[in-house]
Amino acid sequence: MTAIDDIAAERRRQIEAEGWTPEHDDGNDLGELAFAAAAYAVNAANPNAQIDIKVGRRGEFFNGGWMGLARLCWPQQWDHSWWKPSDRRRDLVKAGALIVAEIERLDRASGVRAEAA
């Protein structure tokens, strides 16, 4: 599987397993999807992401450093329990899928019809 395939699979998982449908995404019109993508991308920039998870800092939003920076990006409107960082590559895949969700939301809002690739 390529990185693009992984992002597409994650987007499908977000819809099918998490219930984050396009209709639900349409309600996130204050940049929440892009901010969440940024949070995962910032966390992926952390060279110690794996170590942080292994020592129990997986969801600590209120510590400093990389997680503190990611917290600044996380949408205020979203529950902190939705923050589920993993390893660096997986976080980038999540970020990519959230970016796709935001692009699709913007396209729907502007009346652009999505076409199959």
What would the 3-class secondary structure string for 39-92 be? HHHHHHCCCCHHHHHHCCCCCCCCCCHHHHHHHHHCCCCCCHHHCCCCCHHHHH
Mean pLDDT along residues 6-20? 96
* Dihedral in degrees, nearest 10, Cα atoms 34, 40, 45, 47: 170
* Per-residue pLDDT, 117: 46
Structural domains of the chain, count: 1
* Per-residue pLDDT, 87: 87
Mean pLDDT along residues 56-64? 48
Specify if 86 maps to a domain: yes
- Which segments within the chain are labelled E, that is strand? none
Please state which of the ranges 14-18, 40-44, 67-71 shows the lowest mean pLDDT: 67-71
Asked whether the predicted pLDDT for residue 9 surpasses 80, the reply is yes
Enclosing domain of residue 75: 3-110
Asked whether the predicted pLDDT for residue 66 surpasses 80, the reply is no
Specify if 115 maps to a domain: no
* E strand or H helix at 22: helix 22-26
Asked if 100 and 11 count as a contact pair (C-beta separation under 8 A), the reply is yes
Specify if 116 maps to a domain: no
* Per-residue pLDDT, 69: 74
